A and B are shown apart, each in its own frame.
Chain A
Amino acid sequence: MTNTGTLEVTTPSEREIAMTRVFDAPARMVFDAWTKPELLKRWLGVRNGWEMAVCEVDLKVGGAYRWVWRGPDGNEMGMGGVYREIVRPERLVATEKFDEAWYPGEALDTITLVEQDGKTTLTTTVLFESQEARDVALQSDMERGVAESYDMLDELLASDA
C-alpha cells in the first residue's frame, strides 16, 4: 500500500474545514473513486464492520446522491445532496446533509484535484452555514470517534475472553 502523503486539516475560515492529501495515482482515477458507487463502497466510511448499504450517484449537475452506511449492529447513518458542479477530473461541488442532522443546516463540499507527474493533490473543503455548525461538526466527529474506540475495545476484550 502506497501512502504518499500526510493529511493536512485546516480551518481556512470561520465556516470551513479543509483537507489536503497527495495520492499516487492519476486525477481521473481519484475522481472516479469519489463518483462511482462500486468504487466509493470500497473505501468511504467502511470500517469496523460498517458497510455502505445504499450508494446511489446521479452524476450530473442538479443530480442527487444518496449514501447510507449500516453498522454490524444494524444501525444506519444516511446522508445525501445534490451535485452543483462537475468537471472531471478536476473539480466536484455538491451539497451535503445528514439524515440525523448532527450539525445545523446544509454544507457545501468542494473537491479539487491537481495532477502532476502522475500524482494527484486532492483538496476538499466543507463550507458550513455558520461557524457554530462547523464547530458542532468537529465536536461530533470527536464524540463518534470516541464511541467507536470503545466499540473496538469491546471487541478486543470479547476476543480475549
Chain B
Amino acid sequence: MRELAEPFAISQPAISKHLKVLERAGLISRGRDAQRRPSRLEVEPLARATEWLERYRQLWEGNFERLDALLDEMKVDKQSEKGDHR
C-alpha cells in the first residue's frame, strides 16, 4: 500500500479507503501475505462497464439522428408556414 500511495499526495489511510471502494466494486483484487497486501487491477469488469456505456450511447445516437432529421423538417415546415402568411 505504501508503494501505491507514494506517487500521490494523499495519506496511506486515504489510499486504503480508495482501494476498499475499488475492491468492493470488483475492479481490483487484493492478496494478503505477512507484510503486504498486493492489489491487482481487474481488467474485465472495467472493460465490460465501458462496453455497456458505449452500447447505450449507440442506441441513443440512433434515436437522436432520427430526431435531428425530424427537427430539420419541422424547421422547414415552419418556414413555409411563415411564407404562406406573407
A residues bordering B, Cβ < 8 Å? 1-4, 7-9, 11, 17, 19, 21, 23-25, 29-30, 32-33, 39, 42-47, 135, 138-139, 141-142, 145
Contacts and interface: CB of A to CB of B under 8 A. Distances in A.
Contacts of A17: 56
Interface SS majority for chain A: mixed
A120 B69 CA distance: 15
B68 A1 contact: yes
B59 interface: yes
A161 B49 CA distance: 38
B75 A29 contact: yes
B53 A11 contact: yes
Interface SS majority for chain B: helix
A142 B75 contact: no
A4 B67 CA distance: 11
Interface of B: 49, 51-53, 55-72, 74-75
B66 A46 contact: yes
A45 B63 contact: yes
A18 to B, nearest CB: 11
13 contacts: A8-B57, A17-B56, A21-B64, A29-B75, A30-B67, A42-B70, A43-B63, A47-B66, A138-B52, A138-B56, A141-B55, A141-B59, A142-B51
A141 B71 CA distance: 26
A2 B52 contact: no
Nearest to A143: B55
Per CB-CB distance, the 3 closest pairs between chain A and chain B, nearest first, are A43-B66, A138-B52, A25-B71
Contacts of B74: 25, 29, 32-33, 39
Contacts of B70: 33, 39, 42-43
